[in-house]
Amino acid sequence: MNLPQRLGVLTSGGDCPGVNAVIRGAVLGGTVAHGYEFVGFRDGWRGVLEDDLLPLPRRAVRGISGLGGTILGTSRTNPLSEGGVEAVRGSMRRHRLEGLIAIGGEGTLAAGKALSDQGVNVVGVPKSIDNDLGATDYTFGFDSAVQTATEAIDRLRTTGESHHRCMIAEVMGRNAGWIALHAGMASGAHAILIPEHRVALKQVAAWVTSARDRGRAPLVVVAEAFTPEGQDAPYAPRGLDTFGRPRLGGIGLALERELQQLTGIETRATVLGHIQRGGEPTAFDRVLATRLGMAAVGAAAAGRWGTMVSLRGTEIVNVGLEQALGALKVVPEARYREAAVLFG
């Protein structure tokens, strides 16, 4: 008698709404449609390296598609450290795993590619609230982050109008300004500031003043990594993160100070921060994430290792992991110009 084939699932990198829906889609779809058994590794690659895992029968994923976070935990452990590849192979052999479903961002997909090049069976599911991964129209989690940011900015707007203030909302976006672009357009911002498109503070002040002169309470949405033209580096990093990269933040408060001085308009900044990463995914993200999870297992069943699943139009397709790597997907100049028409 044949034993059922087995896959491992892991979730890596920053929290992102929809991860649980991917897990559920993979486990439920894989169990029902392909007869797979699943195990889940705890805390991403750490669980693989340290052989820390749990069984994932279908009842373990009941009702989780709407839950924020990840039932498997996450970490920023890199599997390509010294001895890592052997440890991954060992764990897969011990637990009789045909392959891994790796749900993660750029680092995880790059690691998946490197493992795959060394013969380890991996299918990737791209994950980024920032929507900055290539080869997919959208990453899951992005829609939820934009929705949360937009609801928060809607709240700020009413206060701006009551007080005739300029309100600034700092949103996430380490490399790309997608959240700022979408949340800013959705909330009717008078200026959207993104890292891809440098703008001088004087220009921002001019937009703010012009909105005020039309009787509006100016609203500025700024991505955390925006750097004004003529300035060397993002504002005020606060220490280092667990990768040793500078932690961003500070542009919101810096703009508060600078714009108030340049325009004479009372200005208040709010840093939305981690509320953009957590909590229940939108219905859009739940559907996208569920389909990605199911498709990832389908790719595994078809032996398409070294690939990842992605959204193209309304279809879920399968592309080589290398396509998501290299250049990040940034906001094209045309999309910024389109949004900027509405500033004025």
Task: Please report, for the chain, how many H helices and E strands are present, in that order.
Answer: 10, 11
314 marked as part of a ligand binding site = no
Cα distances from 263 to residues 176, 203, 251, 270, in angstroms, run 28, 11, 17, 19
Vertex 123: Cα angle to 281 and 45 (nearest 5): 75
- The strand pair at 99-104 and 53-55 is best described as unpaired
In the bound state with a copy of itself, the residue whose beta carbon lies nearer, of 92 and 343, is 343
Tell the smallest beta-carbon distance from residue 119 to a copy of itself (Å): 30
76 marked as part of a ligand binding site = yes
Query: Cα(262)–Cα(202) distance, rounded to whole angstroms?
Result: 8
Query: Cα(9)–Cα(160) distance, rounded to whole angstroms?
Result: 46
Applying CB under 8 A, among 60, 253, 262, 328 the residue interacting with a copy of itself is 253
Q: Which of residues 10-49 bind a copy of itself (CB under 8 A)?
A: 11, 14-15, 19, 24-25, 28-29, 32-33, 43
Q: Which of residues 77-136 bind a copy of itself (CB under 8 A)?
A: none
Q: Which of residues 139-178 bind a copy of itself (CB under 8 A)?
A: 143, 146-152, 154-164, 167
Query: Cα(213)–Cα(292) distance, rounded to whole angstroms?
Result: 47
In the bound state with a copy of itself, the residue whose beta carbon lies nearer, of 59 and 93, is 59
153 marked as part of a ligand binding site = no
Q: Are 237 and 247 in contact, with CB atoms under 8 Å apart?
A: yes
Q: Which of residues 201-230 bind a copy of itself (CB under 8 A)?
A: 214-216
106 marked as part of a ligand binding site = yes
In the bound state with a copy of itself, the residue whose beta carbon lies nearer, of 28 and 308, is 28
Q: Is 303 in the site for a copy of itself (CB under 8 A)?
A: no
Tell the smallest beta-carbon distance from residue 133 to a copy of itself (Å): 13
In the bound state with a copy of itself, the residue whose beta carbon lies nearer, of 152 and 223, is 152
Query: Cα(280)–Cα(290) distance, rounded to whole angstroms?
Result: 14
294 marked as part of a ligand binding site = no
Q: Would you tell me how many other CB atoms lie within 10 Å of the CB of residue 17?
A: 29
In the bound state with a copy of itself, the residue whose beta carbon lies nearer, of 96 and 238, is 238
Query: Cα(122)–Cα(173) distance, rounded to whole angstroms?
Result: 28
249 marked as part of a ligand binding site = no
Q: Are 178 and 235 in contact, with CB atoms under 8 Å apart?
A: no
268 marked as part of a ligand binding site = yes
Applying CB under 8 A, among 238, 243, 264, 302 the residue interacting with a copy of itself is 238
Q: Is 242 in the site for a copy of itself (CB under 8 A)?
A: yes
DSSP 207-237: HHHHHHHTT---EEEEETT---TT-SS-S--
Question: In this structure, what are the phi and psi dihedrals at residue 107, rounded to the nearest 5 degrees?
Answer: -60, -45
Q: Is 236 in the site for a copy of itself (CB under 8 A)?
A: no
Q: Indicate if 132 belongs to the active site.
A: no
Q: Is 231 in the site for a copy of itself (CB under 8 A)?
A: no
Q: Which entry of 15, 130, 132, 285 is annotated as an active-site residue?
A: 130
Q: Is 255 helix (H, G, I), strand (E, B) or coil?
A: helix
Q: Are 138 and 131 in contact, with CB atoms under 8 Å apart?
A: yes
Q: Would you tell me how many other CB atoms lie within 10 Å of the CB of residue 74?
A: 25
Binding mask 258-287 toward a copy of itself (x if CB under 8 A, else -) reads --------x-x-xxxxxx-xxx--xxx-xx
With tokens 């980024």, the residue in question is: 128
Applying CB under 8 A, among 54, 60, 85, 185 the residue interacting with a copy of itself is 185
Residues placed in the known binding site for Mg(2+): 106
Residues placed in the known binding site: 14, 76-77, 105-108, 165, 172-174, 224, 268, 274-277
